[in-house]
Structure 1
Amino acid sequence: MKYYSIILMLLVVCNSCQTTTKTFTEEEISLVPKPSEMVLTEGSYSFSKSTTVFIDNDKQKPAATYLSDLFKNAAGYPIAVSESRDGAAIVFSKDDNIKPEAYHLEVTPKKISIKASDAAGYFYAVQTLRQLLPASIEKANSDEKNWLVPSVVINDQPRFSWRGMQMDFSRHFFGIDDVKTFLNYMALYKLNTYHMHLTDDQGWRIEIKKYPLLTEKGAWRIESSHDKTCNELAKTDPLYSIDPTHYHERDGQKMYGGFFTQEQIKEIIAYAAERQIEVIPEIDMPGHLKAAIDNYPYLSCTNEAGWGENFSHPACLGKETTYEFTKNILTEIAELFPSKYIHIGGDEVNIQSWKECPLCQKAIKDNHLKNEHELQSFFNKDIEAFLNSKGKRLLGWDEIVEGGLSKDGTMMWWRNWAPKMRDIAAQHGNDMVITPCFEYYFDAQHAVTPFDKVYQYEPVPENFTKEQAKHILGVQANLWSEMIPNFKRLQYMAFPRMLALAETAWTSKEDKNYDDFQRRMNMQYQRLDALNIRYHIPTVTGLKDKVAFLDKATVELKAPLENMEIYYTTDGSIPTKTSKRYTAPLEFTATTKLNTIAYRGEVASETKSALIEKQTYLEPVTITPTKGALKRWSAVKQFTVVDSVALPKNAIFTTVKEINLAGKEGIEQLSMVFKGYFYAQTEGLYEFATKSDDGSLLYIGDKFVVDNGGNHSAIEKNGMVALKKGWHPITINYHEATGGGALEVFYKAPNSEKKVLNGNAIAHD
């Protein structure tokens, strides 16, 4: 019996050993961003209470501490430091041949080796190790038993030095705990630059000791228009609820606001530095300064705060007090932030104030300047010289290029509709960060800036030479907070798009592959779940905005991601998990509003709706129009949204061959109407689509086919209509609101491919 007991014990021990080691396949590994080189080998390393780490210099401490804290939080024990290299399971060592931020990571069943030449390289190796561990490493007091890491050899380095995320604290405020949480997200995905937009018209969010009114008064406001909109949306979507912790009673009124003390800023900077993240402050000037001018009105041209047609009145650049005020503020900012750059904004300045100001006009004349753009450039260069004297470099939005940019000025290119700013800066030898509005503004709805659009964007222009490309420091995404009133909403807008940005920022262009990225993302969602991140998932696919049918419609739905379930309603209600579950294609014989939703566990997509419409054929008109063109009417500043665009009685038309903005690019508040005829080559169901920035509406005769209304970035909407063979009247209304602008129109004939609407398919009378 004694022998049987020993054998049984050995079997138990062996079985226990088998549960703590395995050989992984590549399909079981998800690393974002994708490493430069990875070779998967046999076996795996198992972390335990006895695992120790050896470090031999102070640059390795932040990485080793971070790893230890992960295990202390999730497994209940830290990774202890060993005094012996030979006795340690995890060994950090210095290799001067490895580039800054790069690292070498080798995992075997017995040991983990991490090599780098700087603190960032060690830290990023640990973040890779973190992603190789089970997603439960992100949970406090996890019940995970097997902390396995696959045996791999990884050599890795970043593509860009600037891998940034921005948060806007002015429109809606986020506290220090939210900031720290967000910095941890950035660290996980090897992002290294945190841009804090601290001041704007809607609130001043940083303590300036010389000007106490900036936070005593400027950090607080009564309900704004954005607050009202959020409160209205919150009635049906709790993600729009304004964080109640930022409401305070002040002067007998309920006011929204908050700010960071300088001590809190120091705490944020130190926390970020431990995660190899540089904090860049933005103090907007000379525009977007209303929160300051409200309390120091002598700064404006009229000695009072106010608004122009689109933007607030800026600081007066003809007054010496403006230069003194801004430099006093920047003195405190420069002393507080160790960052190389200080961002001064410089965008969306209402230059009309300067045109009407005698002091500004005198400054233009006295300094031999051509116009108000050069006046702003004069201010920028003066501020830049001041920042240089403090050991800092000036950073601003791409408008700072318009009046001339100094050799050392660095710009953030955000206006897709102003590519010349990017070209001018490159030709002039100025560095830039690529942060385009249409791809990297994560406050945009996911339908407007979808996940794949973020991933597919290439930040280096095709026409750039190698020398010009060197001036692209990297990429950054922005989270403007007008419609982001709480941290859960911020998570929802940032994720998963932040991972797509991170891969572009780190991984070489040649190594990126969207299909492979999507495979890795399916596992990354588990990590986001473990981190309790409220991320966005795409809506149900396979559903058009409007589906037309004659006798019967069959609609087949598809889940956007793996392991998802679809639910739907046909009674107009919003679907939930208690609604009908989709299991097979749906059939319709009457006009119906179909609402769908997809769930991944408890995480739901947005509702996707479609009108399933029973139609009869529209009859063609009996005319012979002139093929190959439509008529176009246009107007400027007559309407604010496409839904209100209307032709005047004596509208004057021109003839155009394409439905686009040709000859009207870059005009704000532009409205257009295209009229003519569409030729249906055969009887059947036709699909039309418009892709527009901002709104567009498409009609066939009196039939409303495509509703792409509202003011928004470029999105595509579609609709279907039943047509008999022949010519049918077509009308496209379009409106562009505040910059940018895009318009394309497509059609798809029965049993045919999607095509641009032009050529012999269009005509006019």
Structure 2
Amino acid sequence: MKYLSILSAVLFICFSCQKPTKTFTEAEISIIPKPIQTIIGEGSYSFSKNTTILVEEEAQKPAAKYLSDLFENAVGYALPFSETAENASIILMKDVGIEPEAYHLKVTPEKIIIKANDAAGYFYGVQTIRQLLPSNIEKTANKEQKWVIPSIVINDAPRFSWRGMHMDFSRHFFSIDEVKTFLDYMALYKLNTYHMHLTDDQGWRIEIKKYPLLTEKGAWRIESSHDKTCNELAKTDPSYIIDPQHYHERDGKKMYGGFFTQEQIKEIIVYASERQIEVIPEIDMPGHFKSAIDNYPYLSCTGKPGWGKDFSTPACLGKESSYEFTKNILAEIAVLFPSKYIHIGGDEVNIESWEECPLCQKAIKHNNLKNEHELQSFFNKDIEAFLKTKGKELMGWDEIVEGGLSKDATMMWWRNWAPKMRDIAANNGSDMIITPCFEYYFDAKHEVTPFEKVYKYEPIPEGFTQAQSKHVLGIQANLWSEMIPNFKRLQYQAFPRMLAMAETAWSSKSNKNYEAFQERMGIQYDRLDALGIQYHIPSVTGFKDKVAFLDKAIVTLNPPLKGMDIYYTTDGSVPSKKSNKYTAPLEFTETITLNTIAFRGDIASDTRAASIEKQTYLEPVTITPKKGLIKRWVGVKKFKVVDAIVLPKKASFTSVAAINIENYDVVEQLSMVFKGYFYAEEEGLFEFATKSDDGSLLYIGDQLVVDNGGNHPAIEKNGMVALKKGWHPLTVKFHEATGGGQLTAWYTAPNGEKTILKGNTIAHD
């Protein structure tokens, strides 16, 4: 007995001397998307070979297996399943009071409990655990380390039921392994819908057994215009190299292409389903159908494939064979995909060919239709009725609203310049997915659609009633692959914007905060590194695109992310880690070009250049102009880019109150020239800026101050100029290529605030 008493005392002393487990701070925790409620507790939980998982029902198995596999891949041992709660370290527990996809997570130093009411809820609880673990959990063959997560209580549920990502396989193709990798990225950030754009003019990417030529011929092409552009860009940027695995010798020619067999599609669907992701197929019709018409030419109005002014020749909607062909394809698709929806595209249809087709005109008359838009709507409704017989619902881009939309069809709104489509659909009782071109097209350059812009976009339209808002199922970001020729480039375009979109898709509007999100992103970048993702980092900040000075310029450089090292050159060369390292503000006394770059490990930011220009004051003109107005010339379909604009000899001007495109915001190939004067209220360095879609150029006198040229979505550029007090000649040129444009111009006086160019600061003679 004495021996036992001594042993007990020793054990008590040893236990009392054990160090308490680590307690985490809020700054050490990064969960994206942000949960509804997070309460950090004392201590932490440590995973080990002895950690076991209790699974009591089928719905819990995918989540449990995912967590077990995560450890097996990372550290070489799986987490075994337990048969009893007493022996289990991780308990998955059913709670019928929890909403679909929601979960409750409780972590203590002794146990982890995930409560949910469906497979998705358990799975998302596991993904939160995954993000609480050290980022090295994403790597394979890790050396022994502590796998510790904080004691924490989380209550969480998604805002939207549709949280989607899209990939385009037609323009450039991606392998099945790359698809699976991308699905893993989606799972990590609780995205649940994978939209596969499988057919388009440039390639047919899915096996259709009834029509074998679609993949025997339609899946392969010689070099396209997109390929040529990528190859040209690849000469200076290796990220544009076309993936060589998709080149094959066919019929004695080197051809690009590939497709998924139906067995491969089944494999993708199973893999996605295990990650609670639904796969939505898109089979474009009746437009964007050239890869089908090329091989079955009887489908077109003329019996030949071809192109109209902007888009390819569509299927003829005056021929019964077109309806039969498309339904036969969709019959195979409906059997293959278990998804609720089948997407038929329906966008950018070349209706001019229908206008000239006697059979289409006969169909319009026979069915009492008003025009070609209603003819497409007639086709859509016929396809929709067919899909219903297969237990499916029709989905299409927002053009399907034109000409009439059935209540059961679902629209993807993408055209920022067609906001009324949202109202028409909602008022019609039709559901919609918000996927706007200007915010959620991730193939756009990062400077055009920056990270912050993605995060701050609110998908519920302002002014929508509660009844209308119920028709917004969710949001989706798209990756069109014209300029994405390989998987690394796709990563670069998707990340980190995908995380910003995922938070909007999951977290409530009131629970979002951009500055706090940026803090959490600091830890997430480590996870992206561990996953081997080639993500985008913006350029160095702290200076203007054009820095003007009189005696000397002091330029301060700021890293785009915390902890990054900055390098620069002044000899015109591209900076690298071998260039000058930035350590203190730079001083310049002569005109030079400053090139900058920043590095986070081996991942580089965008490069950024600035013109550092020594100037003398521009003299004002002696004039007494008419204040408050500026002259505007307008030309339509005269030029293709802003740099080419030349005023006609007898240009006709009108007077306007501001530099904008009022009354011309949907005109294609629009050119404008604004001429007048700007008033410098004091002597000094003035900054000017334009934000334009597409290009704009701002001149003071003959001097180009803001170069925002080229055709591009809305980008803001700035520049500086030294002005003496008084009136100075002002010219602004603008061009919009495709409609839906934007133009705003500002100035900032010395020590002043950024102000729109209007009112008494502008004038004309």
Calculate the TM-score normalised by the size of structure 2: 0.98
Alignment partner, residue 686 of structure 2: 686
Alignment partner, residue 452 of structure 2: 452
Alignment partner, residue 469 of structure 2: 469
Contact 1:693 1:736 survives alignment (8 Å): yes
Alignment partner, residue 604 of structure 1: 604
Matches within 5 A, 1:347-426: 347-426=347-426
Note the C-alpha offset of 1:637: 1.4
CA distance in 1, matches of 2:290, 2:739: 22
CA deviations 1:291-324 (Å, max 9, x no partner) are 1111111111111111111111111111111111
Which amino acid letter does the alignment assign opposite residue 410 of structure 1? T
Aligned residues between the structures: 757
Which amino acid letter does the alignment assign opposite residue 752 of structure 2? S
Partner-residue secondary structure (3-state), 2:699: strand
Which amino acid letter does the alignment assign opposite residue 754 of structure 2? K
Partner-residue secondary structure (3-state), 2:522: helix
CA distance in 1, matches of 2:143, 2:577: 28
CA deviations 1:578-626 (Å, max 9, x no partner) are 1100000001111100000011111100101000011111111111111
Alignment partner, residue 161 of structure 2: 161
Extract unaligned runs of 5+ from structure 1. Answer: 1-5
Evaluate the alpha carbon distance shift between residue 116 and residue 685 of structure 1 in structure 2; reply closer, same or farther with a 3 A threshold. Answer: same
Which amino acid letter does the alignment assign opposite residue 605 of structure 2? S
Note the C-alpha offset of 1:21: 2.7
Which amino acid letter does the alignment assign opposite residue 153 of structure 2? V
CA distance in 2, matches of 1:16, 1:468: 62
Alignment partner, residue 246 of structure 1: 246
Contact 1:53 1:88 survives alignment (8 Å): yes
Alignment partner, residue 659 of structure 2: 659
Note the C-alpha offset of 1:15: 12
Which amino acid letter does the alignment assign opposite residue 622 of structure 2? T
Which amino acid letter does the alignment assign opposite residue 667 of structure 2? I
Partner-residue secondary structure (3-state), 2:215: helix
Partner-residue secondary structure (3-state), 1:492: helix
Evaluate the alpha carbon distance shift between residue 15 and residue 397 of structure 1 in structure 2; reply closer, same or farther with a 3 A threshold. Answer: farther
Alignment partner, residue 677 of structure 1: 677
Alignment partner, residue 320 of structure 2: 320
Which amino acid letter does the alignment assign opposite residue 228 of structure 2? K
Alignment partner, residue 125 of structure 1: 125
Matches within 5 A, 1:185-334: 185-334=185-334
Alignment partner, residue 499 of structure 2: 499
Note the C-alpha offset of 1:639: 1.3
CA distance in 1, matches of 2:350, 2:142: 54
Calculate the TM-score normalised by the size of structure 1: 0.98
CA distance in 2, matches of 1:241, 1:282: 27
Contact 1:686 1:749 survives alignment (8 Å): yes
CA deviations 1:22-51 (Å, max 9, x no partner) are 000111000000001110000000000000
Note the C-alpha offset of 1:16: 11
CA distance in 2, matches of 1:614, 1:364: 67
Matches within 5 A, 1:76-87: 76-87=76-87
Partner-residue secondary structure (3-state), 1:403: coil
Q: Is 1:528–2:520 an aligned residue pair?
A: no
Which amino acid letter does the alignment assign opposite residue 298 of structure 2? Y
Evaluate the alpha carbon distance shift between residue 318 and residue 588 of structure 1 in structure 2; reply closer, same or farther with a 3 A threshold. Answer: same
Which amino acid letter does the alignment assign opposite residue 247 of structure 2? Y
Partner-residue secondary structure (3-state), 1:521: helix
CA deviations 1:264-293 (Å, max 9, x no partner) are 000000000000000000001111111111
CA deviations 1:377-429 (Å, max 9, x no partner) are 11111111111111100000001001110010100000011100011111111
Contact 1:280 1:341 survives alignment (8 Å): yes
CA deviations 1:327-385 (Å, max 9, x no partner) are 01000000100000000001111111111111111111111111111111111111111
CA distance in 2, matches of 1:384, 1:625: 62
Evaluate the alpha carbon distance shift between residue 202 and residue 645 of structure 1 in structure 2; reply closer, same or farther with a 3 A threshold. Answer: same
Partner-residue secondary structure (3-state), 2:425: helix
Matches within 5 A, 1:65-104: 65-104=65-104
Which amino acid letter does the alignment assign opposite residue 388 of structure 2? N
CA distance in 2, matches of 1:147, 1:546: 49
CA deviations 1:483-538 (Å, max 9, x no partner) are 00000000000000000000000000000011110000000000000000000011
Note the C-alpha offset of 1:740: 2.1
CA distance in 2, matches of 1:375, 1:44: 64
CA distance in 2, matches of 1:383, 1:304: 24
Matches within 5 A, 1:536-575: 536-575=536-575
Alignment partner, residue 3 of structure 1: none
Alignment partner, residue 720 of structure 1: 720
CA distance in 2, matches of 1:530, 1:587: 39
Alignment partner, residue 43 of structure 2: 43
Partner-residue secondary structure (3-state), 1:60: helix
CA distance in 2, matches of 1:588, 1:737: 39
Alignment partner, residue 29 of structure 1: 29
CA deviations 1:664-705 (Å, max 9, x no partner) are 121111111111111111111111111011111111111011
Flag as ranges the 4+ runs of structure 1 deviating above 3 A: 9-18
Contact 1:230 1:242 survives alignment (8 Å): yes
CA deviations 1:107-152 (Å, max 9, x no partner) are 0000000110000000000000000000010000112510001000
Alignment partner, residue 516 of structure 1: 516
Contact 2:438 2:713 survives alignment (8 Å): yes
Note the C-alpha offset of 1:464: 0.3
Q: Which segment is superposed worse, 116-125 or 667-676?
A: 667-676
Alignment partner, residue 755 of structure 2: 755
Which amino acid letter does the alignment assign opposite residue 110 of structure 1? E
CA distance in 2, matches of 1:12, 1:181: 50
Partner-residue secondary structure (3-state), 1:207: coil
Alignment partner, residue 708 of structure 2: 708
Which amino acid letter does the alignment assign opposite residue 238 of structure 1? P
Alignment partner, residue 59 of structure 2: 59
CA distance in 1, matches of 2:64, 2:82: 11
Contact 1:136 1:144 survives alignment (8 Å): no
Evaluate the alpha carbon distance shift between residue 17 and residue 352 of structure 1 in structure 2; reply closer, same or farther with a 3 A threshold. Answer: farther
Note the C-alpha offset of 1:739: 3.1
CA distance in 2, matches of 1:177, 1:288: 27
Partner-residue secondary structure (3-state), 1:529: helix
Evaluate the alpha carbon distance shift between residue 144 and residue 498 of structure 1 in structure 2; reply closer, same or farther with a 3 A threshold. Answer: farther
Contact 1:21 1:148 survives alignment (8 Å): no
CA distance in 1, matches of 2:681, 2:382: 65
CA distance in 2, matches of 1:430, 1:659: 38
Which amino acid letter does the alignment assign opposite residue 742 of structure 2? A
Alignment partner, residue 4 of structure 2: none
CA distance in 1, matches of 2:629, 2:725: 19
CA deviations 1:523-567 (Å, max 9, x no partner) are 000000000000001110112111111110110010111111100
The alignment's C-alpha RMSD in Å is: 1.5
Partner-residue secondary structure (3-state), 2:172: coil
Identity of aligned residues (%): 75
Evaluate the alpha carbon distance shift between residue 428 and residue 16 of structure 1 in structure 2; reply closer, same or farther with a 3 A threshold. Answer: farther
Which amino acid letter does the alignment assign opposite residue 678 of structure 2? F
Evaluate the alpha carbon distance shift between residue 537 and residue 218 of structure 1 in structure 2; reply closer, same or farther with a 3 A threshold. Answer: same
Evaluate the alpha carbon distance shift between residue 521 and residue 17 of structure 1 in structure 2; reply closer, same or farther with a 3 A threshold. Answer: farther
Alignment partner, residue 740 of structure 2: 740
Partner-residue secondary structure (3-state), 1:86: coil
Alignment partner, residue 579 of structure 2: 579
Alignment partner, residue 642 of structure 1: 642
CA distance in 2, matches of 1:108, 1:27: 19
Contact 1:45 1:111 survives alignment (8 Å): yes
Note the C-alpha offset of 1:12: 14
Alignment partner, residue 337 of structure 2: 337
CA distance in 2, matches of 1:361, 1:50: 73
Contact 2:665 2:739 survives alignment (8 Å): no
CA distance in 2, matches of 1:15, 1:445: 58
Note the C-alpha offset of 1:633: 1.0
Alignment partner, residue 147 of structure 1: 147
Which amino acid letter does the alignment assign opposite residue 162 of structure 2? W
